[in-house]
Structure 1
Amino acid sequence: MALIGGTSESRSLAHVLSHEGIPWIATVTTEGGRRLYRDLPGQVVVTRFSPPSLAQFLQEHGIRVLVDASHPFAQEISQLAMQVTAQLGIPYLRYERPPVALDPWVQVAPDWQAVLTDGVLAGRRVLLTVGVKALPLFGPWQDRCQLWARVLPESVPQAVQAGIPAERVIGMRLPLSFEQELRLWQSLDPQVVISKESGEAGGLAVKQAVAKTLGIPLWVIRRPPLRYPWCSQDLTAVVQECKRRLARAHAQTNQNGSSAGRSASRS
């Protein structure tokens, strides 16, 4: 089976699959993502897919089930995986990161455009904890506010390329404790913090607690709405469904082989 990974959820799933003796191959987009699985027996491939390359990958590796455990905001690969698996007749399963319950005082934005406004950004010190891919959206605001960005250490060059001054890019690896997050916010003294609905693994619960402690407005971007053919936030349910789909695929393969054998005998 194939596992679209690079997240803590994909690591947990790969661990259980290994324990169950189910072969898997994970795909990630960075070398940092590869390190998540360094003590596990499965194969890990660092790549970025297009529709043809994903189809080729699934066919070459004989994939019978694909589990998408990508980041909640990695909608491009999720949409691509759903499209290609549907075309190839391969089951698609979504292992979704559970959300964090948001306090009523948290400002919730339905999309990026809702925070790219004078009312949120203009004239303020803003800490962005939105991931490096979203930083180009904030580039045009550099002359109207002071932007800081916290990203993964390996993403610092990309953040600078996106237009954030190097001295305002903080490379830190998650997860951070409450105390670590608190010290960072106190040192930067932001007037606004913008984050994504990235769940516990993305540190949202800690950010919410620190924002409340310091009285700093916190904006959270909602997850992009996607309709999955199958989705669960429960690891046990995902593993059980993997087993069920793999068993069905194996039975179908055996049936097709038997039918081919009988046809050959008659001929």
Structure 2
Amino acid sequence: MAAKLLILGGTTEAYDLADRLAALPDWHVITSLAGRTADPRHAAGETRIGGFGGVAGLVRYLDEHAIRAVLDVTHPFAAQMGWNAAEACRITGIPLLRLERPAWTAEAGDRWQSVTSWTEAAAAVRQSQAQRVLLAVGRQELSHFVDIETAWFLIRLVTPPAPLPPFYAAEWLYARGPFALADERALLDTWAIDTIVCKNSGGTATAAKLLAARERGVRVIMLQRPARPAGVPTVADGEAALAWLERLALVGLNR
């Protein structure tokens, strides 16, 4: 009988894993999405949308649905879900694996300024005297920059926020990655961008803007990743996650 596997998803890696695992007999795959985007893409297998209600709610879900293993494949900045999963799996004794894409690292020619909070990022925009800023941070983080009067912003999002935050000077651009290098070069040139503000998300889908910035000497204000729970086994790719699940199957968790 197939064992139930909960994937905490929403990332490209999570969808890829669900695609591969849904075709295998050992696992019944359930992918959980936070539900913060309108009309989210459903994953292969079973999909649930919405929060669990904190650690207690997740513990209850794991127990009621007889979950045998959990893969945390949430975004590197979805920190709270990672902490909740670690505690819920500790309480229930259910195996947990974190799949997290490697962070970006600065290379020769990069002009990166690392920050650890959005407040610090907004202060860096002001202190650097940035004039034309590509803001690629997500809808929930826009409020930290809305009061900056000294810079013009090109705000790139997947979907429009409602209502639009009242920036003093801004243009709105709606697009979903991956973004090609040629397009990112053209974007920086067309809009005369001198500064990029973004998260250290890692991966390839949005990395082209960093190469284009390096080529043009554009400043990058980069928010570093939040802390994750210690002691959670972590892998960097889907192949390693599949190998971990194969080992679990060998010890009988799918029986």
Q: Same fold, TM exceeding 0.5?
A: yes
Alignment check: 8 A CA contact 2:130 2:195 kept: no
Q: What's 1:193 paired with?
A: 196
Q: What's 2:242 paired with?
A: 239
Q: Which amino acid aligns with 2:92?
A: L
In the alignment, which of 23, 28, 47 is matched to residue 23 of structure 1? 28
1:221 maps to 2:223: yes
Structure number with the bigger relative contact order (C-alpha 8 A, sep ≥ 6) is: 2
In the alignment, which of 91, 97, 121 is matched to residue 93 of structure 1? 97
Q: Judge which range, 190-199 or 94-103, deviates more.
A: 94-103
Residue-pair matches, total? 243
Q: Within 2, Cα distance between the matches of 1:73 and 1:193?
A: 18
Give the CA deviation at 1:24.
Answer: 0.7
Q: Which amino acid aligns with 1:85?
A: C
Give the CA deviation at 1:33.
Answer: 7.5
Structure whose residues are more often strand by fraction: 2
Tell me, what secondary structure is at the counterpart of 2:179? coil
Tell me, what secondary structure is at the counterpart of 1:147? strand
Structure whose residues are more often helix by fraction: 1
Q: What's 1:109 paired with?
A: 114
In the alignment, which of 136, 144, 150 is matched to residue 144 of structure 1? 150
Alignment of 1:9-158 (within 5 A): 9-21=13-25, 22-30=27-35, 34-35=40-41, 37=43, 40=44, 42-51=45-54, 52-104=56-108, 105-112=110-117, 113-117=119-123, 118-120=126-128, 122=129, 124-141=131-148, 143-153=149-159, 156-158=160-162
Tell me, what secondary structure is at the counterpart of 2:135? strand
Where in structure 1 are there 5+ consecutive unaligned residues?
255-267
User: What TM-score, normalized by structure 2, do the two folds share?
Assistant: 0.84
Change beyond 3 A, Cα 1:137–1:98: same
Q: Within 2, Cα distance between the matches of 1:132 and 1:92?
A: 30
Change beyond 3 A, Cα 1:106–1:17: farther
Change beyond 3 A, Cα 1:70–1:165: farther
Change beyond 3 A, Cα 1:73–1:64: same
Alignment check: 8 A CA contact 1:136 1:163 kept: no
The structure that has the greater radius of gyration is 1
Alignment check: 8 A CA contact 1:175 1:201 kept: yes
User: What TM-score, normalized by structure 1, do the two folds share?
Assistant: 0.81
